[in-house]
Structure 1
Amino acid sequence: MLQQIVSHTPIYVWFILAFLISRGVAASADRDVTMRNLVVIPAVMLVLSWLDINNKFGFDGLVAAGWVAGASIGAGLVWRNFDSSSIACDPASGAIRLRGSWLPLALMMAIFCTKYVVAVLVAMQPAARENSLFVAAVCIVFGMFNGAFLGRLACQMAVWQRAAGPVRA
């Protein structure tokens, strides 16, 4: 059965996995990043999550509420536990020095695996799409993952803002 699942997986899914692994491994090393590039992975993960949720369940009341609740929880947890010493900002050059972390890879793999398992489950049990508890749980989990990325981005931007000083008109 596992062989059938893997063999029926579209090839683009494996390219997405390779991309996510490469980005996660890159995030494990100290690096200089522009503010613009800092937004790329959270934005990609957000779009992929929303597209997947919309394709599987639509994006109506229960789905949106579950996702927003999960995103709020994920962002709040990251905001509360963020280590601002993992960033050094140089506003003059526009660069942010990030300490390497395996957390982005772990989050990306958790999202990928969750999306994969949900896709397989929905393909094998289409009635799961109609189960409100299942839909809410999936949307909350996806929201928590996205909230973690967005919360981390918000923390990094806050550190950047403090380093750059007050905005002058």
Structure 2
Amino acid sequence: MTFAWQILIHTPVWVWMLLAFLLWQGVQAMRPRRTPIWRALIVPVVFIAWGVSRLGFGHQDSVWPLVAWIAAALVLLPLGVLTPRPFDVDHTTGQIIRPGSPFGLVRNLIVFASQYAVGVISAIDAGDRALAIVVGRAISGATAGYFIGSTIALLVAYRRKSAER
């Protein structure tokens, strides 16, 4: 219990605020709702920024974390493009109309837990730090790639659906 407590109290406050935001967004996505396009882009932008921020340019002794990031981003980008979440467009207001789904909550928790676990491992065990850094960059790249792809799919579908009238 002491070990887990130490992990929790040494986690930066911003991480808990991010988790609360992602939980809130995921719970909101479980209900049908209307939202402006810019609001639908908040979670993808958060995950893309988090993924890119983990690159740590200039702070690496090896090229492998960068290779892992790029490879994972390239693998998951098509998945994001090919698996768009369904929505309709209200042609009067331009808002997106989405059905409720637990997908957003589950996705947010999986990505957060993966990033958090890698951060904890790299902070605790110096012996596993090199591997954790490569795995962490791969997770970050995969996350960024997926959300870049899903953002592209959302914007393309929004433009097409808005023009249908």
The alignment covers a number of residue pairs equal to 162
- Provide closer, same or farther for how the CA distance between residues 105 and 60 of structure 1 changes in structure 2, counting only shifts above 3 A: farther
* Residue deviations 1:9-30 (CA, integer Å, cap 9, x gap): 2333222211110111111111
RMSD: 2.7
Aligned residue identity for 2:149: G
Within 2, Cα distance between the matches of 1:93 and 1:58?
A: 47
Match of 2:163 in 1: 165
Task: Report the secondary structure of 1:32's partner residue.
Answer: strand
List gaps (5 residues or longer) in structure 2: none
Residue 143 of structure 1, CA deviation: 1.8
TM-score (norm 2): 0.81
- Provide closer, same or farther for how the CA distance between residues 20 and 53 of structure 1 changes in structure 2, counting only shifts above 3 A: same
- Structure 1's consecutive aligned runs of 4 or more residues displaced over 4 angstroms after TM superposition are 57-61
Q: How does 1:95-134 map to 2 (within 5 A)?
A: 95-131=95-131, 134=132
Q: Percent identity?
A: 24
Within 2, Cα distance between the matches of 1:59 and 1:101?
A: 42
Task: Report the secondary structure of 1:121's partner residue.
Answer: helix
Within 1, Cα distance between the matches of 2:91 and 2:127?
A: 52
* Residue deviations 1:136-162 (CA, integer Å, cap 9, x gap): 332222222232222222222121121
TM-score (norm 1): 0.79
More displaced stretch, 110-119 vs 66-75 = 66-75
